Amino acid sequence: MNAIEITGLSKQFTGKHMIKIDALKGLNLNIAAGEIFGFLGPNGAGKSTTIKLVMGLLRPTSGAAQIMGLDVSRPESRYNVGYLPENPAFYDYLSAEEYITFVGTQFKMDSTLLEQRTEDVLIRLDLWDARKRPMRGYSKGMIQRVGLAQALVHDPEVYILDEPMSGLDPIGRALVKDIILDLKARGKSVFFSTHITDDVEKVCDRVGVIVKGTLVAVDRVESILRSGVEGYVIHLQATEAESLPFAGIEALRRTESVSEYYVPCSGFNAFMGEVNRTGTNVVLVEMKRRDLEDFFLSLVK
Amino acid sequence: MFSIIQTTLKGVFRDRVFQGIMALAVFFLFIPSAASLSMRQVTELSITLSLSLISILLFILALFLGATTIWKDIERRYTFSVLSLPLSRTTYLVGKFFGIALFMLLTALFLGTVSILVIKFSSVLYPPSRPILWSTIIVSIFFDALKYIIIVAVAMLLATVSTSFFLPIFGAISTFLAGTITQQVYEYLQSQSAQKAVSDVVRNAAKLFYYILPNLSGFDLKVHAIYSIPLNSSGLLLTIIYFFVYTGILLAIGSILFERREMK
């Protein structure tokens, strides 16, 4: 069973002067169990609309979505989900501890387990010291961490995170990445939206790119990265006098003891064969590739 | 639903606006001296002023809580996190309503206790000519609370479709004003003079509003409390049944509308 199944999901909003706006157009997407899926797209592309439709906050114009086999129009479908909204806000008159307990109660958690899990997530997200204070005094980063804590507390199978790194400092971002990788190791499914490609590259199995309400690409991150390899920069131990062309490729730069060559993928084997034949030492091989950001930008443009 | 009720109650008690409104209860302290200015019927005036002050406070609270609770949750984006939990919107709405209704009853209990102390104090200083029917005063306060709980339900119903708090606030005020006089209007329309003076269209429109708008006159027992008039138990029972049916209908309509609302 897929963690999330989205079939022909569309959403049309009616704007000012009754103008129809297609926020999402016929989205088909499956997230497998245990998969980390990054949902990339520029601002206003339809990422949050998709997530709100899956969470039952919006009603689809057409199409359907299921979480762990349950239609999202049923509140029970959300028992298996930990959801972090975009720029979350929580009852600010409650403390983090009270709010996490409230959330756990909605998931019908056993009180002893809830107490233990509340303590665990608050410690993990570095909110333990602030747990008794009303959230109206929290910083934006702390609220974001409360959002993650309330998504984690009931240990669901599926996580839907809308811009989870937003508003976090580098330490917080690293923490979120750690948490996602930990969830991955535990076989959980994570569907998260972002417009920061680096987040996706580091943690995701697959990535989908949405532009103007249409899913324009879905692929495995590793295959995008592999297909994006354009060539190599190879550093050879050779003095200026010894730095000859290999397989017809001239050195780009030369220092006293090291010469640097740019070798395209197609010429790599021939270049390395000649280097081996001459007995020249290889100091360093650097991969030159288009990264996920280039891939994303090529799709968006 | 219990945790929604509990959270709603916490929210109300910790709200500074509520604390400000409740600070108005300090006016109870002035009731005995104000009532003594009447020279006669000091106790009756104490009862009138106490019950009126309770009414005013409950009315302000009903407007403030009924109109702003859901609107605030949507405006401050709390609904994104709460409505994505595995609970239906009906549970959320009804839980919120019960939380506020419970709070209104607790407030009525508190204000009622204070007013009984105030009336007792006045009656000791200026013994009344008629015996005070304490049970009637208590029942009157209870029915007053029920009346304002209906106003809460009206405001919440309007809040389920409104994007601002204007419609819930002014809609609830209008409903309250109209609901207080619908019975008199209806009785007038049945009179002989009205048969001649009012056209059929107006009479039918007024009757339609009589059935749609809440009839709040049955909840007003102040005169019984002030002048120690015995209560009609079957009338009270009917009013309670009316309260449950009318509130139930409002919540049912509110739930249907709120289920369809888009959380953009």
Cβ-based contacts of B15 with chain A (< 8 Å): 93
Whether B87 contacts chain A with CB within 8 A = yes
Cβ–Cβ under 8 Å, residues A106 and A79: no
Cα–Cα distance for residue pair A83/B83, rounded to 1 Å: 11
pLDDT tens digits, A237-294? 877 666 678 888 888 888 778 888 888 888 888 889 988 888 888 888 887 877 667 7
Cβ-based contacts of B3 with chain A (< 8 Å): 102, 105-106
Cα–Cα distance for residue pair B90/B220, rounded to 1 Å: 30
More confident: A225 or B19: B19
- A91/B264 Cβ within 8 A: no
pLDDT at B246: 94
Nearest to A4 by CA among A28, A20, A23: A28
pLDDT at B174: 92
pLDDT at A253: 83
The CA distance from B135 to the nearest CA of chain A, in Å, is 38
Cα–Cα distance for residue pair B81/B92, rounded to 1 Å: 12
- Coil vs helix vs strand at B130: coil
The CA distance from A198 to the nearest CA of chain B, in Å, is 27
pLDDT at A301: 67
Q: Per the structure block, which two tokens stand in for A255?
A: 């220092």
Cβ-based contacts of B10 with chain A (< 8 Å): 93-94, 98
The amino acid present at A199, given as its one-letter code, is D
B4 → chain A, closest CA residue: A102
Whether A102 contacts chain B with CB within 8 A = yes
Cα–Cα distance for residue pair B122/B36, rounded to 1 Å: 8
pLDDT at A208: 87
Q: DSSP character for A8?
A: E
Report CA-CA distances (Å) from B112 to A145, B14, B104.
44, 22, 12
- B88/A93 Cβ within 8 A: no
Percent above pLDDT 90 for chain A: 30
pLDDT at A21: 86
Cβ–Cβ under 8 Å, residues A259 and A234: no
Report CA-CA distances (Å) from A192 to A83, A129, A163, A180.
10, 28, 7, 10
Cβ-based contacts of A98 with chain B (< 8 Å): 10
Q: Among A12, A53, A57, which would you mutate to test the B interface (most chain B Cβ atoms within 10 Å of its Cβ)?
A: A57
Cα–Cα distance for residue pair B201/B189, rounded to 1 Å: 12
Cα–Cα distance for residue pair A7/B114, rounded to 1 Å: 61
Cβ–Cβ under 8 Å, residues B137 and B47: yes
Burial class (CB within 10 angstroms; exposed 0-12, middle 13-18, buried 19+) of A46: buried
Q: Per the structure block, which two tokens stand in for B204?
A: 């039918």
pLDDT at B255: 94
pLDDT at A241: 64
pLDDT at A207: 86
pLDDT at A84: 92
Q: Among B80, B89, B92, B163, which would you mutate to test the A interface (most chain A Cβ atoms within 10 Å of its Cβ)?
A: B80
Q: DSSP character for A95?
A: B
Nearest to B263 among A52, A75, A78 (CB): A52
B258 → chain A, closest CA residue: A57
Nearest to B86 among A57, A79, A88 (CB): A79
pLDDT at B109: 93
Give bridge partners of residue A229 from the DSSP assignment: A289
Cα–Cα distance for residue pair A177/B220, rounded to 1 Å: 62
- A55/B10 Cβ within 8 A: no
Q: Is the ipTM of this complex over 0.90?
A: no
- A87/B77 Cβ within 8 A: yes
Q: What is the pLDDT along chain B (264 residues), one digit of tens a residue?
A: 888 898 898 888 888 877 787 777 777 677 777 776 776 777 788 888 889 989 999 999 999 899 988 898 998 889 999 999 999 999 999 999 999 999 999 999 999 998 888 888 887 877 777 787 888 899 999 999 999 999 999 999 999 988 888 899 999 999 999 888 888 888 888 888 877 787 888 888 888 888 889 988 889 888 888 887 888 889 899 999 999 999 999 999 999 999 988 888
- B87/A93 Cβ within 8 A: no
pLDDT tens digits, A196-205? 777 777 788 8
Whether A13 contacts chain B with CB within 8 A = yes
pLDDT at B240: 94
Nearest to A102 among B3, B14, B264 (CB): B3
- B83/A102 Cβ within 8 A: no
Cα atoms found within 13 Å of the Cα of residue A141, Cβ hemisphere only: 12
Residue where the block lists tokens 């609830």: B172
- B83/A57 Cβ within 8 A: yes
Q: Per the structure block, which two tokens stand in for B91?
A: 């549970």
Is the pLDDT assigned to residue A76 strictly greater than 80?
A: yes
Whether B84 contacts chain A with CB within 8 A = yes
Residue A4, φ and ψ in degrees, nearest 5: -135, 135
pLDDT tens digits, A142-164? 898 999 999 999 999 999 998 88
- pLDDT band of residue A46 (cuts 50, 70, 90) is confident
Q: DSSP character for B263?
A: -
Nearest to B87 among A59, A75, A91 (CB): A75
- A91/B84 Cβ within 8 A: no
Nearest to A94 among B10, B77, B84 (CB): B10
Nearest to B226 by CA among B41, B56, B57: B41
Percent above pLDDT 70 for chain A: 95
Cβ–Cβ under 8 Å, residues A89 and A143: yes
The amino acid present at A287, given as its one-letter code, is M
- B11/A79 Cβ within 8 A: no
Residue A294: enclosing H or E segment and its boundaries?
helix A292-300
Length of chain A: 301
- A57/B84 Cβ within 8 A: yes
Task: Pick the range with the lowest mean pLDDT from A109-113, A133-137, A242-246.
Answer: A242-246
Cα–Cα distance for residue pair A277/B38, rounded to 1 Å: 118
Residue where the block lists tokens 């410690």: A123
Whether A59 contacts chain B with CB within 8 A = yes
Cα–Cα distance for residue pair A251/A257, rounded to 1 Å: 13
- A105/B3 Cβ within 8 A: yes
Nearest to A78 among B77, B85, B263 (CB): B85
pLDDT at B204: 84
Nearest to A90 among B81, B86, B87 (CB): B81
A90 → chain B, closest CA residue: B78
- B86/A75 Cβ within 8 A: yes
Q: What is the mean pLDDT of residues A128-135?
A: 90
